[in-house]
Every structure is written in C-alpha cells, then in structure tokens.
C-alpha cells in the first residue's frame, strides 16, 4: 500500500491531501486535477489504483488492462487503498470523510459509521487481516488559520464500524500510516511548533505497540530545524516485533522543495535524518519497502525514482522518462513494482511498472 500527501490551500483552510495541485474542501464534491493517488498490489499481476473522481480501478494482468470498479465524476478524490492477499477484502479512503470497502474484490460500498468525521480527509488505510485495521487523516492548517488537527481511527470488524479518533494531540495532523500486526502500527504526520509566522509544521511520528495507545505526544523527527515540512508516506520493515521505519516527505518552504527521508533500523528507538539525492524527486510522496533493506520512493519534481538497499539510510536515483508526478508506489517483491500518479502532461491518471528493480519502467496505464 502506498499513499501520497500534499499541503493544499483550500479557500481559507489548508488540508493535508494526497495530490499536488488538487484543490478540495473536506465537504467538496469536486476535484481539480486527475491522477491516481494510491496503489496496492496483492501479486505481480493483480492490483488496485485509486484517485480523482472517486475512482477505483483494478488490473488482473499486470497492468495490461484495467477495469473501473467505482467512479463518481466530480466526487471526492480517493487517497489510499489496501487490499488483503485474498484479493477480495479491501478498503479505500479519501477526501470528505470517504471510506469504501469491498468483500468480493469487485463491488465497493460506502461505509457509514458514527465515529467517522466528514470534515477531514482520510489519507491512509492499513488492515493487517480481515478484521483489524486503521485509517488516519485530518486538516493541516496554516499559520493564521488555526492548528492542524486529525486522528487515527481503528476497526476490529473489517471496517464496518470504527472507534476513535485516537492519537489526537494539539497541533497534530496524521497523514500516513503502516502496520505489521494487530498491535504494532506507526503514523507519520506534521506537528505545529511555534506561533504564527515564526512557527512551522515539523515532521513528527506516533507509534502503538498495543493497537490502541499512541503515546503521550508525537515525536518530532528533526528537532531544532524550523522549516515547514510535508509528510508523504511511512513504511514499517522487518520483524513485526521490532520493525524498522522509513518515512518520506519534503521541506516545502525551501524553493525548490527539499526531499527528506527519516529511517530507523529494526528495533531502533529513534529515526535518523537521511538526505535524499537532489537530482531525484524534490517532493517525496510514496515509499515501499518490499524487504528490510530494499525500498523505493517516488514523488514529483523530477523524472526519477529513488532506491535504497540500506534500509533507507542511503538512496540512489533511477531515472524514468515516464513519470514526473508520481504519488504512490507499491512493490510486490524487490524487483516488481508499480508507481501511480499523473502522466507527464499532467492531464490523465497514469501507472508505470518495473520488473527489474527500477532499472527500466513501462507505462501500463
């Protein structure tokens, strides 16, 4: 599963949504830009992509053909998707408090729960089995528009009902999450530090080791660095008992935006800042770690994908002429993966594929 998040001006509010230059309000029924913003593959041939116009598309032949399973022209964008290995049980989330689920891998239906909040954009979803999973989302306000807000919602009945929101801290907006068991999950986002123009939205993270408690406050990932950041994605790697963590995003106040990566080895107590290559994407929006050491990150600002073989500590640039606006990535194994976003012209949703670890890519949508 992958997500892609972006700090967007919407009238007098700023929402943490998953697409560059996509303007939405939480209650809006319109999307201004096309694109796929989430992607999840259960095998080398079967996967789902979600995006603008509340679109869900599936392929069963490795991207050669796609079937639109759900679509609402002018509807809220879908920003995240998670489908279990059975290919039948899945969930998709998006703007305007949108949550959808499927039990047959084909038909998607909206979920209505008293705990859900239609004023936020749900940006990420992760289920570890048919019963237990989480979604997160919120609104990331600007310096004169109040504090960021949001939370994490949990389901133990397959997404039919939700409890929460949990992980609700003052000035905290969660934007991406991942989980490896019913008790172990991580959520990355931004935390407002300081006041007015002297403040900034800094990268921060919360974790749970029992599935419900998320600590007393978010952990700032780079203390003392006062630049507004935008988080894109987070991934857990390695053993479920003591996983590693890789989180990606960018410092958006720096022009051009500067990509950021934070990484921790399996069982490490804290994450370390890792400078991403400046010749790659400047705004990192998606990360996939098929193994504890091998991973890939995508974003916008350059026709390239980043690759790590060191668990996120160091990265190399893999050029691709097919995608300068990539918002999500999912690798089935260390070699085969898919990245989703918009085409180079920025006029249509697109998916690209590699079968050789990112050395070469082909357009499949």
Q: Is residue 171 part of a domain?
A: yes
Q: Helix (H) and strand (E) counts for the chain?
A: 0, 30
In a domain, 96, yes or no: yes
* 155 lies in some domain: yes
Residue 1 lies in a domain: no
Confidence at residue 324, expressed as pLDDT on a 0 to 100 scale: 83
pLDDT given for residue 165 in this prediction: 94
According to DSSP, the β-strands at 272-275 and 258-264 are antiparallel
Residue 343 CA: distances (Å) to CA of 4, 26, 59, 272, 278: 16, 26, 18, 33, 22
Comparing C-alpha atoms, which of 279, 252, 276 is closest to residue 263?
276
Q: In CATH, what number is assigned to the domain containing residue 227?
A: 2.130.10.10
pTM of the model: 0.91
Identify the pLDDT of residue 145: 67
Q: What is the pLDDT of residues 219-235, one digit of tens each?
A: 999 988 888 999 999 99
Closest by Cα among 297, 342, 349, 302 to 321: 302
pLDDT of residue 143: 59
Low-confidence ranges of the chain (pLDDT < 70): 1-33, 142-145, 196-197
Say if 276 falls within a structural domain. Answer: yes
Our count of domains for the chain comes to 1
Q: What pLDDT shows up at residue 343?
A: 83
Domain carrying residue 206: 6-363
- 171 Ramachandran zone, left/alpha/beta (phi>0; psi -120 to 50): left
| CB 112 within 8 Å of CB 100 | no
Is residue 283 domain-resident? yes
| Cβ pair 121, 10 in contact under 8 A | no
């Amino acid at each position: 599963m992958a997500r892609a998040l972006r700090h967007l001006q919407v009238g007098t509010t700023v929402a943490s949504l998953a697409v560059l230059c996509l303007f939405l309000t939480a209650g809006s029924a319109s999307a201004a830009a096309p694109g796929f913003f989430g992607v999840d593959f259960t095998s080398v041939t079967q996967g789902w992509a979600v995006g603008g116009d509340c679109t869900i598309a599936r392929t069963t032949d490795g991207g050669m053909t796609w079937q639109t399973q759900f679509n609402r022209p002018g509807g809220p964008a879908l920003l995240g998707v998670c489908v279990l290995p059975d290919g039948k049980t899945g969930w998709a989330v998006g703007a305007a408090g949108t949550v959808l689920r499927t039990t047959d891998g084909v038909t998607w239906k909206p979920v209505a729960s008293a705990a859900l909040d239609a004023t936020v954009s749900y940006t990420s979803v992760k289920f570890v089995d048919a019963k237990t999973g989480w979604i997160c989302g919120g609104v990331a306000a600007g310096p004169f528009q109040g504090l960021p807000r949001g939370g994490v919602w949990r389901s133990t009945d397959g997404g039919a009902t939700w409890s929460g929101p949990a992980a609700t801290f003052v000035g905290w907006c969660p934007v991406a999450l991942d989980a490896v068991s019913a008790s172990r999950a991580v959520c990355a986002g931004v935390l407002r530090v300081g006041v007015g123009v002297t403040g900034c939205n800094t990268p921060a993270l919360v974790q749970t080791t029992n599935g419900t408690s998320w600590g007393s406050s978010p952990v700032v990932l780079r203390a003392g660095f006062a630049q507004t950041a935008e988080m894109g994605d987070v991934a857990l790697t390695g053993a479920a008992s003591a996983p590693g963590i890789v989180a990606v995003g960018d410092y958006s106040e720096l022009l051009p935006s500067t990509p950021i990566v934070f990484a921790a080895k399996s069982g490490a107590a804290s994450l370390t800042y890792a400078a991403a290559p400046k010749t790659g994407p400047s705004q990192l929006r998606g990360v996939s770690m098929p193994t504890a050491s091998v991973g890939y990150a995508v974003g916008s600002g350059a026709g390239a994908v980043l690759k790590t073989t060191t668990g996120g500590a160091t990265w190399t640039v893999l050029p691709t002429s097919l995608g300068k606006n990539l918002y999500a990535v999912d690798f089935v194994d260390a070699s085969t993966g898919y990245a989703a976003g918009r085409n180079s012209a920025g006029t249509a949703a697109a998916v690209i594929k590699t079968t050789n670890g990112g050395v070469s890519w082909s357009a499949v949508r």
